[in-house]
Amino acid sequence: MNRELLKDKKRIVVKIGSSTITHEATNNLNLIKMEKLVRVLADLSNQGKEVVVVSSGAVAVGRQAVGMKKRPTEVKEKQACAAVGQAKLMMVYQKLFSEYNQLTAQVLMTKYTMINDISRQNARATFEELLAMGVIPIVNENDTVSTDEVKIGDNDTLSAIVSALIGADLLILMSDIDGLYTDDPYKNPDAEFIDYVERITPKLESMGKDSASDVGTGGMATKISAAKIATDSGADMVIANGEDIRNISRIMQGEQIGTLFKAHKDEAFKLMDYLKTEQYSD
Ligand code: GLU
């Protein structure tokens, strides 16, 4: 697929993983990267694009703020960390975006927001309204009330669900890996990079081994299942390395960055079909 086509994308969801906006050693926010990120996103908005951000980091930032050394394991610990961290995260986003006179909004969702017909329709209408107002919604799972029992679970999936919900035409997953490889490149030096995926085959799915990093929750398996949701709903999806924030602009300029999964809109696509799979059932 010609990468130049990405230049014309209008409604873009950008997923930012915890590892992209925090320092690995401390879990503190990486302010320089956040500044770059916000500048790139504000500029996309200035170009007339509609931008939605799905940002992780609530738990990681909260964990750091309360001085918790290890990754929280208990539900109540995770929920408490998220409550502290989400507010801090939004404070920083709002401060940085306001430097470019860009309004943002916080949207926190749970699985029930999507499963319940009325709340899903209301959520969609709210996104439409925010985008019409020129606001950049910053989305996360409502981890404070949804860890465990009602969780979507990871923001790769959440960002694909949001893309489908609002009919985005492009989803960019900024991750801690360059894209899709034939094997885990950290373990296998012969692993080959895959820059384009026309169709997600069962073979490809089996290649996505879970290699969750210390701060985020998404491995390659969740990224491939996110790609299925996004591409079936009609959005192209690119996985790229969040190490270099300029990758977002490069992708939007049609450069060959990361792995592109091609959209093939399934006319029968129903978001609910994805939400009702075993993974999401009560
Ligand atoms: N919602 C989680 C957080 O903000 C992150 C989930 C994820 O990284 O996939 O901490």
pLDDT in tens, 24-70: 888 899 999 999 999 999 999 999 999 999 999 999 999 999 999 88
More confident residue, 59 or 276: 59
234 marked as part of a ligand binding site: no
The number of the ligand 1 atom at minimal distance from the alpha carbon of 156 is 9
Residue 211: pLDDT above 70? no
- The finding on whether 217 has its CB within 6 A of some atom of ligand 1 is yes
**Which of the listed ranges 17-26, 107-116, 240-249 does the model predict with the highest average pLDDT?**
240-249
List CB contacts of 281: < 8 A, sequence separation 6 or more: none
pTM of the model: 0.92
Residue nearest to atom 8 of ligand 1 (CA): 216
Residue 83: pLDDT above 80? yes
The CA radius of gyration of the chain, in Å to the nearest whole number, is 17
The number of the ligand 1 atom at minimal distance from the alpha carbon of 154 is 9
Give the model's confidence band at 208: pLDDT under 50 very low, under 70 low, under 90 confident, else very high: low
pLDDT of residue 245: 97
pLDDT of residue 267: 77
The number of the ligand 1 atom at minimal distance from the alpha carbon of 59 is 10
Q: Tell which residue, 127, 83, 125, 93, has the closest CA to residue 107.
A: 127
pLDDT of residue 209: 54
56 marked as part of a ligand binding site: yes
- The finding on whether 55 has its CB within 6 A of some atom of ligand 1 is no
CA distance linking residue 121 with residue 113, whole number of Å: 9
Angle between helices 155-166 and 220-233 (to 10 degrees): 0
CA distance linking residue 21 with residue 25, whole number of Å: 12
2 marked as part of a ligand binding site: no
Q: Are the C-beta atoms of 33 and 73 separated by less than 8 Å?
A: no
Q: What is the mean pLDDT of residues 192-209?
A: 84
pLDDT in tens, 100-122: 999 999 999 999 899 889 999 99
More confident residue, 185 or 247: 247
For residue 214, what is the DSSP state? S
CA distance linking residue 50 with residue 53, whole number of Å: 10
CA distance linking residue 72 with residue 144, whole number of Å: 13
Give the model's confidence band at 186: pLDDT under 50 very low, under 70 low, under 90 confident, else very high: confident
Give the model's confidence band at 191: pLDDT under 50 very low, under 70 low, under 90 confident, else very high: confident
57 CA from centroid of ligand 1 (Å): 6
Residue nearest to atom 6 of ligand 1 (CA): 154
Q: How far, in Å, are 206, 214, 242 from residue 247 at the CA level?
A: 27, 23, 7
Task: Calculate the CA 272 to chain-centre distance.
Answer: 19
- The finding on whether 231 has its CB within 6 A of some atom of ligand 1 is no
Half-sphere exposure of 134 (CA within 13 A, CB side): 11
245 CA from centroid of ligand 1 (Å): 19
Share of the chain above pLDDT 90, in %: 72
Edge-to-edge strand order for the sheet containing 236-241? 104-109, 136-141, 50-55, 11-16, 170-175, 236-241, 259-261, 196-197
Q: Which domains does the chain have, with CATH numbers?
A: 3-275 (3.40.1160.10)
pLDDT of residue 199: 93
